[in-house]
Amino acid sequence: MTVKNYSFGMLFLFLLIFMIGSVATDKNNEAANTTEERNTMAEQIENYIKNEPNLNGAITGISIRSASSGKKLYDHMGDIRLRPASNMKLLTAAAALAVLGENHTFSTEILTNGSINGGTLAGNLFVKGKGDPTLLPSDFDNFAKKLKESGVNLIKGDIVADDTWYDDVRLSPDLIWSDEHWYYGAQISALTASPDTDYDAGTVIVKVSPGNKGEKPDVTVSPGTNYIEVKNTALTSEPSVEEDLTLKRVHGENTITIEGTIPVGSAAIKEWMTVWEPTGYAMELFQQSLKKEEISWTGKVKMEAAPSDAEVLYSHKSMPLSEMLVPFMKLSNNTIAEILVKEMGKVIHGEGSWEKGLEVIETELTKMGMNADSLMLRDGSGISHATLIPPNEISKLLYLVQNKNWYDSYLHSLPVAGKADRMIGGTLKNRMEDKNVKAKTGTIYGVSTLSGLVESESGEKLIFSIMLNNLLDEEDGPKIEDKIVEIIASQ
């Protein structure tokens, strides 16, 4: 070999080694950069948790996964069981879609054990509820119109409410007594009614408007019904006095008390208050509807099961479950949550109870791939302070449900950050306007949670579950969650 050829060969070998080394270095740098990005997210979150004063003494559970692979990217106390608040509804909705199906509806039937002849129904008239939480006063009006159209002017018999589709346990096991008169603590019955299209079944809307100084404020109850009595001892104060009204329903009664002051010229105060015994409330609305149609009856209004051979005169069906999920999840409707629990128990085990319904939820979650042995489930809404779920299990659920044929309905039901329309933005309508976030909120005393999906700046979809427990003030939770989501989204 000549010196020239030797020198060229050595040069070529040197260049080859250099190029291979450069490629290897680039790959190492790329891997290091990827690791650094992941570490940066973890470090940012850890630093934020450490330095956020409102988290001192609190428990912070976080789980973050890739939406495409399900790989866990970060967790902080992710396997610790924590109170989920309304993040429990993510589990209830998934189980309901799996068990009942997107097209499941709730029916209400008008039946009789008698016969119609010459404008008279000789026999009893039954209103059988099968769990529909979306019945409005207008639906009871329609029931009465259908009777009138069938020729009925007089019922020679009783008007009977049948709510036996579910059991007679009205309140979920761990409901705090002070929550009982608010809309989120409504009693559960198979025959109930809602005052408006938020579908807070078993409630009325109480509106308090200021009057003249020194006089009682004006009070209206919607729907207008004799089922509710109002005791108003409140007064209208000077404009400079801060509003200080207290509304309560007396336990075991349908008396709503209004105390305190409301200033002249201030906006009206509206509260959704529960009724005691929603079956009776529904029947009161039905009686009013019958009277509108000038249909009278000779017997009593009572509660008992309709005979099995009673004839169905009219059947009303609710919207399908896929549509009902929107007010359920967007507005975080507790009553719909608990009705879904009882409905699952009724459909699978023939018993509309919390016990049987929760058994169904655990079974379905296990089928999906969750570890049900790590869960403590006490209700469907999350209002219980005994319900416990690890953040890693919530993020796992949100990954697993993506391959279900009902996932579009599930995803569509989640609140969308920054969207002003309540039936789109829901409980996130005033949060994270600049982020692509779909997530379920949750709030009970000392607890704030947020779980869902976010698209990062790099275009990657990430699943997260943030569960803050033992806060001194749960109202501090949303800004903390939003900051953590901001860190996640910045990746």
Backbone angles phi, psi at 74, to 5 degrees: -165, 140
317 noted as active-site residue: no
Task: Supply 262's token pair.
Answer: 């409301």
Backbone angles phi, psi at 260, to 5 degrees: 105, -155
Can you tell me the distance from the alpha carbon of 426 to that of 452, in angstroms, rounded to the nearest whole number? Answer: 14
| Catalytic residue, candidates 63, 89, 356, 465 | 89
Can you tell me the distance from the alpha carbon of 472 to that of 28, in angstroms, rounded to the nearest whole number? Answer: 46
Cα 35 to chain centroid, rounded: 38
Angle at 105 between CA 315 and CA 199, to 5 degrees: 95
89 noted as active-site residue: yes
86 noted as active-site residue: yes
SS3 387: coil
Q: Are 249 and 256 in contact (CB under 8 A)?
A: yes
Can you tell me the distance from the alpha carbon of 100 to that of 333, in angstroms, rounded to the nearest whole number? Answer: 18
How many CA atoms lie less than 13 Å away from 230 in the CB half-sphere? 23
Q: Are 417 and 437 in contact (CB under 8 A)?
A: yes
| Catalytic residue, candidates 63, 86, 322, 413 | 86
Length of the chain: 491
Can you tell me the distance from the alpha carbon of 276 to that of 180, in angstroms, rounded to the nearest whole number? Answer: 9
| Catalytic residue, candidates 63, 172, 237, 332 | 332
Cα distances (Å, whole numbers) of residue 281 to 105, 146, 352, 381: 22, 21, 20, 23
Radius of gyration of the chain (CA): 29
Can you tell me the distance from the alpha carbon of 181 to that of 49, in angstroms, rounded to the nearest whole number? Answer: 36
With tokens 């059947």, the residue in question is: 315
- Helix (H), strand (E), coil (C) string for 356-370: HHHHHHHHHHHHHCC
Euclidean distance between the first and the last CA atom of the chain, given in angstroms as a whole number: 57
Q: Are 287 and 293 in contact (CB under 8 A)?
A: no
Positions marked catalytic: 86, 89, 332
